[in-house]
């Protein structure tokens, strides 16, 4: 095997422009980077990298490496819908097979079935999904105007709708009960937009049930219009005026939960405020209307219009902490909360059954998996000194993260020693990156 000193190798890299289109990347202390294919990583701390710059694998000292980024797989990984958090903060994506008083069986796409002791479990989160986009436009000049008598004066150019004065256009969608509505506003002088959503799009001026987004020189507001008095009620308002945005651009995201009568507003990617629909019957329609209220000669644009699925139970409960660390806690999708002991999770049709015993009932509750949002497990005594941090943190393409006290790579698989779970073997292609903290390493230094 040929060993190249690190300084000589960096000089060689700086004078050569050879780069592989599919290569792993090694980050070194001092912000240096090497590319190639990682052929092995031994438990003794020796890393071997195959590179077109050397006839044989390059041997590196692991204590010089801070991170490894691996070549993306040719097929994207489909992340499972259940997220398990371990007591040390690690995350595992998978599906729950069963649970008893001693352990949980988690089926994972990368490591197969894992038997996890209950003392290593912190929480379970169900239905963790990336939102699905079911509209992304505008698509062309007819997208918001074809066969629509109310449409006028909006024009299509550069993937956007624009107008130089008053304009109206609308479109009907099959909106689910929960959805996310995103769009970008641009203006020339000052903004004056009105956008309605969950709108029945009637052709009469009569009051209807719908939501109105208003953004102009007075600020930003979302109102609720009702078919019966009082006609308009404010759901949320922000003192955000167009002059606060020097770029004359604003990204808007509205998450709509019609089941629980809530609306969540995000501006330029940041959460702003949550509002509650004050009326018992929420708007059920699927129309959206875009209105330019600016005077003639003032150009305005609406672009990047997106509609996505939105299940807020996961995002709402994700940041919660266990209400009682001495008991198990269960939160349902409808926000019902129980404390006690989770006795078992057992297979059943059409969904698994959670047997949960509370102090207030003689018989355990039988709850369908479809109704469960989050589980918190009893936590061990926190007065004990924390375990030292592991020197490795491994990221998987399915969004899992695993700590490791030691690990070794071959071209086909990765074997790691987890501080809570012991030995785990993964497919090499499942790893997206590995972080290495030299100050924490338990491996002997390599001379």
Per-position pLDDT tens, the chain of length 447? 333 343 343 333 333 333 333 567 777 776 667 777 777 776 666 777 777 767 777 777 766 777 777 777 666 566 688 999 999 989 998 999 999 999 999 999 888 899 999 999 999 988 776 678 999 999 887 888 644 555 678 889 888 999 999 999 999 999 999 899 999 999 998 999 999 999 999 888 899 999 999 999 999 999 999 999 999 999 999 988 999 999 999 999 999 989 878 898 999 988 888 888 999 889 999 999 999 999 888 899 999 999 998 865 555 555 566 666 789 999 998 888 999 999 999 999 888 999 999 988 899 999 999 899 899 999 876 666 767 788 888 888 887 889 988 888 877 888 899 999 999 999 888 888 888 775 544 343 333
Residue 290 and residue 145 share a domain = yes
Task: For residue 77, tell me if it sits in a domain.
Answer: no
Same structural domain, 192 and 86: no
Cα dist. 160→137, 167, 195, 267 in Å? Answer: 8, 14, 15, 19
In a domain, 276, yes or no: yes
CB 186 within 8 A of CB 249: yes
pLDDT at 314: 55
Task: Classify residue 28: in a domain, yes or no.
Answer: yes
- For residue 21, tell me if it sits in a domain: yes
pLDDT number for residue 338? 93
- Domain end among 310, 330, 356: 310
> pTM of the predicted model, to two decimals?
0.59
First to last CA, the chain: 16
**Residue 180 sits in the same domain as residue 271:** yes
Q: What is the CATH number of the domain that holds 179?
A: 2.60.120.200
Residues 123 and 137 in one domain: no
- Domain shared by 323 and 366, yes or no: yes
Q: Please report the pLDDT score of residue 28 as a whole number.
A: 73
Q: Looking at the structure, do residues 207 and 153 belong to the same domain, yes or no?
A: yes
CA distance linking residue 54 with residue 52, whole number of Å = 6
Does any domain span residue 382?
no
- Do residues 100 and 1 share a domain? no
Domain-embedded: residue 319? yes
Could you list the residue range(s) of the whole structural domain that residue 213 is in? 133-310
Pair 412, 426: CB distance under 8 Å: no
Instruction: Tell me if 76 is assigned to some domain.
Output: no
Among residues 255, 276, 310, the one where a domain terminates is 310
Asked if the structure places residue 66 within a domain, the reply is: yes
Same domain, residue pair 182 and 264? yes
The reported pLDDT for the residue numbered 300 is 95
Domain-ending residue, one of 310, 344, 367: 310
Q: CA 358, CA 328: separation in Å to the nearest integer? A: 10
**∠ CA(391), CA(401), CA(346), 5° rounding?**
130
Instruction: Say yes or no: 300 and 159 in one domain.
Output: yes
pLDDT attached to residue 198: 97
| Whether residues 147 and 248 fall in one domain | yes
- Mark whether 105 and 143 lie in a shared domain: no
**Tokens in use for 183?**
């769009």
- pLDDT reported for residue 289: 94
From CA 318, how far away is CA 128, in angstroms rounded? 9
Q: State the total domains in the chain.
A: 3
Cβ count within 10 A of residue 321: 8
Same domain, 345 and 394: no
């Amino acid at each position: 095997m040929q060993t190249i000193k690190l300084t000589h190798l960096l000089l060689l890299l700086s004078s050569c422009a050879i780069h592989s289109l599919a290569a792993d990347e090694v980050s070194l202390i001092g912000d240096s980077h090497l590319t190639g294919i990682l052929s092995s990583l031994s438990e003794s701390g020796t890393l071997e990298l195959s590179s077109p710059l050397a006839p044989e694998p390059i041997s590196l000292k692991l204590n010089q490496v801070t991170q490894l980024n691996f070549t993306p797989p040719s097929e994207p990984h489909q992340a499972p819908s259940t997220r398990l958090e371990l007591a040390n903060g690690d995350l595992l994506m998978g599906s729950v097979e069963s649970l008893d008083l001693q352990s949980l069986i988690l089926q994972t796409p990368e490591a197969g079935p894992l038997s996890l002791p209950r003392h290593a479990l912190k929480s379970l989160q169900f239905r963790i999904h990336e939102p699905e986009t079911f509209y992304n436009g505008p698509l062309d000049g007819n997208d918001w105007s074809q066969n629509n008598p109310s449409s006028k004066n909006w024009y299509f150019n550069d993937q956007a709708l624009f107008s130089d004065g008053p304009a109206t256009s609308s479109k009907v969608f099959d909106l689910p009960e929960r959805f996310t509505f995103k769009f970008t506003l641009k203006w020339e002088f000052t903004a004056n937009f009105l956008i309605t959503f969950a709108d029945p799009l009637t052709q009469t001026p009569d009051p209807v049930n719908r939501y109105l987004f208003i953004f102009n020189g007075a600020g930003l507001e979302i109102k609720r219009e009702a078919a019966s008095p009082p006609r308009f009620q404010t759901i949320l308002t922000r003192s955000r005026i167009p002059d606060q945005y020097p770029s004359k651009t604003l990204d808007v995201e509205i998450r709509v939960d019609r089941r629980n009568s809530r609306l969540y507003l995000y501006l330029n990617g940041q959460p702003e405020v949550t509002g509650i629909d004050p009326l018992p019957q929420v708007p059920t329609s699927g129309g959206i209307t875009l209105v330019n209220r600016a005077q003639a000669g003032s150009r305005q644009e609406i672009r990047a219009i997106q509609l996505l699925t939105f299940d807020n139970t996961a995002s709402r409960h994700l940041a919660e902490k266990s209400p009682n660390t001495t008991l198990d806690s269960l939160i349902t999708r409808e926000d019902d909360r129980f404390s006690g002991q989770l006795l078992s999770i057992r297979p059943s049709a059409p969904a698994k059954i959670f047997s949960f015993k509370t102090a207030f009932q003689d018989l355990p509750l039988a709850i369908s998996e479809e109704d469960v949002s989050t589980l918190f497990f009893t936590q061990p005594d926190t007065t004990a000194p924390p375990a030292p941090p592991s020197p490795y943190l491994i990221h998987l393409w399915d969004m899992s993260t695993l700590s490791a006290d030691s690990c070794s790579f071959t071209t086909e698989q990765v074997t790691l020693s987890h501080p809570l779970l012991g030995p785990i073997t993964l497919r090499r292609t499942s790893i997206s990156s590995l972080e290495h903290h030299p100050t924490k390493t338990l491996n002997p230094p390599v001379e």
